[in-house]
Amino acid sequence: MSTATRNNHEIDYKIYGEELQFVEIELDPSETAIAESGAMMMMDDGVQMQTIFGDGSAQQPTGLLGKLMSAGKRVLTGESLFMTAFTNEGQGKKKISFAAPYTGKIIPMDLRELGGTIIAQKDAFLCAAKGVSVGIHFQRKLGVGIFGGEGFIMEKIEGDGMAFMHAGGFIIEKELKAGEILKVDTGCLVAYMPTISFEIEMVRGIKNVMFGGEGLFFAKLQGPGKVWIQSLPISRLAGRIVAYGTYHRKEEGGILGGLLDGRG
């Protein structure tokens, strides 16, 4: 990590696990990490928790009404009005860990190296160094907003510190050259740099629409810039679980099982 001065708190970290990961952050005295409510897994004695409106960054309004309005915007992304700040108020280094909410991968992002801003799906943010701003990003194009898979509103992560995203399945980072185009299932898009042009394109061909099984639209991403893609969106996983839970296989349990559950 670069030793140049950062505006955000500079934190060290280590990611553990394969499919169900957690990130361990090391805090020097007076350093702070922020996270969504409920993300904390464990922490050393000497780390103090404080519930705050929004993300506590310097970009937030200072007045009470301004803070309420700023934090209230987070509700539009499906997040809580509040976040939690974890500060090392003890002596020496302290560690705190944040766990992924479902199977997938944690993506560490050094915002300074990524130009200071990342646009992410609305439930991707896990935690970050204090000073990183977690706001909202409105899709300006109507087609993207209506058919973009993740909706009209996404998260805007800004700053020059470390931020950690989480997404489902396997995560791949791709860097598109200027003019290079990548077409992605709308639900598989995790995050992208603001230099990326993001549009929604309709699947062509009536047979593709009716029988292709991939939906009516996909995301058309054009470089230059980096994009992050997930192999298993949580919406797809939840849909399969619901479908499996409501489907009864006759062979399960055999004849006795069918008699016992009333299907015999």
Beta strands in the chain (DSSP E): 12-16, 22-27, 32-36, 40-43, 47-53, 82-88, 94-99, 104-110, 117-120, 125-129, 133-138, 153-158, 162-168, 171-176, 181-185, 189-192, 197-202, 217-222, 225-230
* Location of structure tokens 């899709």: 139
Q: For residue 255, what are the β-bridge partners?
A: none
* Location of structure tokens 């949580």: 234
Cα–Cα distance between 37 and 81 in angstroms, integer?
Answer: 10
Residue type, 34: I
Q: Where along the chain do its domains lie?
A: 12-247
Specify the CATH number for 12-247; select among 3.50.50.60, 3.30.470.10, 3.60.160.10, 3.20.20.370. Answer: 3.60.160.10
pLDDT at position 56: 67
For the stretch 107-156, pLDDT in tens is 999 999 999 999 998 889 999 999 898 888 776 554 444 444 444 578 89
Cα–Cα distance between 183 and 117 in angstroms, integer?
Answer: 22
Contact between 75 and 14 under an 8 Å Cβ cutoff? The reply is no
* Average pLDDT of span 44-61: 78
pLDDT at position 140: 54
* Location of structure tokens 């553990």: 16
Higher pLDDT, 55 or 182: 182
Average pLDDT, the chain: 79
Q: Model-level pTM greater than 0.85?
A: no
For the stretch 151-198, pLDDT in tens is 457 889 999 999 999 999 999 999 999 999 999 988 899 999 999 998
Contact between 232 and 177 under an 8 Å Cβ cutoff? The reply is no
